[in-house]
Chain A
């Protein structure tokens, strides 16, 4: 029994990695091979799919659009959440606990609920098909999340730190920027990561609020048929590339995430 102890984790990991492997496998095949034969690895190995994505603006613009609104959203979410989380962690005010919980409930509603009102509102404001529209729409679930995570990290900083800074002569804004924010960089990193990820993977609102100019990669990627028929190899390559930004961001915050889990806020 003990000798087989490695077996179950291995099977589990293989199961987890199988779809990713299959995606990579497909991305190096031609569409004909994918549809025509079943093979565990590419027989006619090709980089044409990747080449097409990096040279065709309709493809690479998808990545640029996605990255643009995701970065804008992350910046807005963290910036807006910092003072809010500070208030929740440091002050007691009427209904603070209810408000804090209400923030969380925003994450419970499916984005589809908001698709129609957002579409109408953004069209009326002439923000339809802009990066900022998607970035703002994603704030709906990212700001509450950011407040929730940051509040945990901020409450871990003793209130006496604030007081010491005031006694030393720091004004509140100077204290906040020079001392407080550097004290919670780990928390900000973790928060930014989650905002990035949730905005990156969200498809419905991004698709609803854009048509051409700000069309996200996920929207381009999920159209299965085009004028030249099925382009499965190309879609697989696009999918493989979509995983990369998340992997990069995870690598940067890998040490901080554990801390976030320890605080119970991630």
Chain B
């Protein structure tokens, strides 16, 4: 079974929600839609579900155009960020409801509901109302209703965003297992790059309604085709600096000169944009091949065993994700070490230039 979006565009009230999006869903692992709020993730899911109709473009299932087919006739299931269950029904009836509507035999309903309830550890709560359950259990109920239906397409719209940290981790590790070997295509929308990396599978990055890149999650992370994708897929935010290349050397802010070995011959002189992930900025003393940058601390947040140091280097604001707890004062001068090979190079239009360096990839992954 193939599911495809074909040049889908949607505007509402002068706002572009989706701009010419084409993608073919993968059945091997999750299809993660990654993007900030208002990037069009939910709209894309709603179009896949059939709740919303695109202005132009088609939704194709097995090569057939299903754009105009009503929601009820599509074999989809959806779980929302808010815990949506039928408040007047028991958990059992909630899970059973899609089967009842489909006139499934009563005995079969009971067995299927019970097995899904077991899978999602909902057995003790089957006779309760959703309103009496905790948030995690409510979302499990919603997931159970999506799974029991045996739909060929399951849409998950930030299903873990409203859960607390522990529950989120627990459910996130369970989710891919629930759909493994079922042949179900799963689309998972999230705003968190970290979540996309943990879920694996494939990732599509969305920005302002445009699909910027779609591929294997780690591939998109390591090798972003453009600056927007790299920015979308980075948390804490990506460090971006504009530099000039002249006579084989990169010059940052007319002060710092360095070379990126692999780029020396590849790129002609001119202006470029360099991006560097925060965990590649180090507070340690520089190694021989690294460059040293001087900056002024604007804020230092300690998060567990990591410190996020926000600093001004020249006219650019940088973020350094340093291991360990570092107590730094606001306004303090610090020097950070940066390996020039870790820079991802874009031209001024934000397109990736230069050859993909596998060393960068391995480093980014690690």
Contact = CB atoms under 8 A, between A and B. Distances in A.
Interface of A: 158, 160-161, 163-171, 174, 179, 182-183, 185
A179 B88 contact: yes
Interface in B76-117: 76-78, 80, 82, 84, 86-89, 97-98, 101-102
B100 to A, nearest CB: 9
B101 A163 contact: no
B72 A169 contact: yes
Which 10 A-B residue pairings sit nearest by Cβ, starting from the closest?
A182-B88, A169-B101, A168-B98, A166-B71, A160-B84, A160-B80, A164-B84, A169-B72, A167-B78, A179-B86
B53 interface: no
A167 B76 CA distance: 7
B187 interface: no
A174 B80 CA distance: 22
A170 B72 contact: yes
Nearest to A181: B88
B51 interface: yes
A192 B87 CA distance: 21
Contacts of B72: 166-167, 169-171
13 contacts: A164-B80, A166-B72, A167-B74, A167-B77, A167-B78, A168-B101, A168-B149, A169-B98, A170-B101, A171-B72, A179-B88, A182-B89, A183-B88
Contacts of A163: 46, 49, 51, 71, 78
B342 interface: no
A165 B77 CA distance: 10
A183 B87 contact: yes
B352 interface: no
A158 B97 contact: no
Interface string B57-72: 0000000000000011
A163 B74 CA distance: 13
B214 to A, nearest CB: 24
A164 B101 contact: no
Interface residue tally on B, bucketed by range: 20 to 34
Contacts of B84: 158, 160-161, 164
B202 interface: no
B51 A169 contact: no
Nearest to B77: A167
A169 B88 contact: no
Nearest to B102: A169
A185 B76 contact: no
Contacts of B80: 160, 164
B145 interface: yes
A211 B74 CA distance: 59
A59 to B, nearest CB: 42
Contacts of A174: 101
B72 to A, nearest CB: 5
A199 to B, nearest CB: 28
A171 B71 CA distance: 9
Contacts of A168: 77, 97-98, 101, 145, 149
Of A158, A160, A174, A182, the most chain B CB neighbours within 10 A belong to A160
A183 B86 contact: yes
Contacts of B76: 167
Contacts of A170: 72, 97, 101
Of B78, B86, B87, B102, the most chain A CB neighbours within 10 A belong to B86
